[in-house]
Amino acid sequence: MRMLLSDWARVADFYTITFKAGWFSSIGPINIIVNLIDDISPSRNVKMYITKNILFLAFVSLFSSTEVFSSRSIPCGLRPRGTLQLLRRKRDLQPAIIGGKETRTHSIPWQASLRNKASNRHFCGGSVIDDIFIITAAHCVDETALSSVKIVLGDHSISREDSTERTYFPNRFIIHPNYTKDPPENDLALIELTEAIEFSDAISPICLPTARPSSGQSCIVSGWGSTRDQRSIHWEDSSDVLREANVPIRDHETCSNQNHWGPLVTSKMICVGNSHVGTCFGDSGGPLFCNDGGSKNYYYLAGVTSFGDGYKNLETGDAWCSNSETYPDVHTSVESYIAWINSYLQGPRVTDSLVERLMQQMTVLQVGKFI
């Protein structure tokens, strides 16, 4: 049914009741336009025409799941049981990460693999925390070209393409503004994707923490990083399958004293692991996740893998990871950065196509003929 001019006039009369009351205030561009309308104090006819276009954008935004952020009600931090891979080559039958094991397929659905777009080489890990954001270590992306990276989700074996595997591309790297490489502080970055993630049993977000894990608590690290703590490994070698290891949370006071890491470890870091158990090259940016211990049995992202007692020689390729009692692995504490993370996660998500449509609609507002 075509709306007559008088119908749109009645719609314009409800401008204050609807838009000024904030019914669509969560949609950023629309809210901005409403404020602009107030500033220029247009005539009733102009307001009627603008309201017509705003209604169009509002309904597109509210009901288009492919162009605007999807529901945030999806459960986070749930681990599917998964299955064990039965077909493994002999070279895979070695300790996982360092002192761990191969995961059950897709049992860590928030695990992300950062790879070189051209070679498919895995170089860092990450975690899904939202339908548009991946969290990783700043040192993974601070000197990396945006166009050279792809993010693979729902994967288990790098060499074999899984049916659940999905590839996404970065729209931008958001590196923490206070990140420093040496010493490694505030080693955290968000990767905003070019499109929303399609969640499934193999791909889902992990919960963000409400508190730090307690000392002695058993948590889990995961990744495709190097699997041996020997000097003979090549620093670019990585596991073909996703692996995990249980690691205890170390006491911060002990980890930061002079007999261990000293002042290099700050209050915004978490130390984990025992001797010969932990992360290695290629696990950087990946998750340190802990169970909440409650009836809901969910996992939260306690840390992002940052640094440890390792060595690599770029000329010879020799490398080793000690994972020692004296120098345990160090992770960036996610709980310390919740406000910064939420500043990007919260608020409207409008994709490029919707913005283009907005601009197209605004160009037809020939205000002059109504005044």
Question: What single letter denotes the amino acid at residue 218?
Answer: S
Tell me, yes or no, if 187 is annotated catalytic: yes
Average pLDDT for 218-227: 88
Which one is catalytic: 238, 284, 322, 333? 284
Give the span between the Cα atoms of 45 and 50, in whole angstroms. Answer: 9
108-144 pLDDT, tens per residue? 999 999 999 999 999 999 999 999 999 999 999 999 9
Cα→Cα distances 154→109, 168, 242, Å: 6, 11, 11
Residue 284 annotated as catalytic = yes
pLDDT at 35 over 80: no
- Out of 139, 176, 260, 331, pick the active-site residue: 139
Q: Is the pLDDT of residue 188 over 90?
A: yes
Q: CB-based burial of residue 68 (10 Å sphere; 0-12 exposed, 13-18 middle, 19+ buried)?
A: middle
Q: Who wins on pLDDT, 343 or 73?
A: 343
Computed over every residue of the chain, the mean pLDDT equals 75
Asked if 273 and 310 touch (Cβ cutoff 8 Å), the reply is no
43 is catalytic: no
Which of these ranges, 58-62, 80-84, 100-104, 238-242, has the smallest mean pLDDT? 58-62
Q: Which residues contact 197 (CB under 8 A, 6 or more apart)?
A: 128, 131, 132, 153, 166, 168, 203
* Cα angle, residue 343 at apex, residues 250 and 143 outer, rounded to 5°: 70
Task: Check whether 293 has a pLDDT greater than 90.
Answer: no
CATH, domain 90-345, list 3.90.550.10, 3.60.130.10, 2.160.20.60, 2.40.10.10: 2.40.10.10
Span 46-52, mean pLDDT? 58
Q: Give every strand in the sheet of 299-307, ordered side by side.
A: 101-102, 243-248, 218-223, 287-291, 299-307, 329-333, 269-272
Q: Which residues contact 363 (CB under 8 A, 6 or more apart)?
A: none
Catalytic-labelled residue, pool 130, 131, 155, 187? 187
Q: Give the separation between CA 135 and CA 334, rounded to whole angstroms.
A: 10
Which has the closest alpha carbon to 69: 162, 262, 199?
199
Q: Is the pLDDT of residue 294 over 90?
A: no
Q: Where in the chain is the domain with CATH 2.40.10.10?
A: 90-345
Does the structure show a pLDDT above 50 at 204? Answer: yes
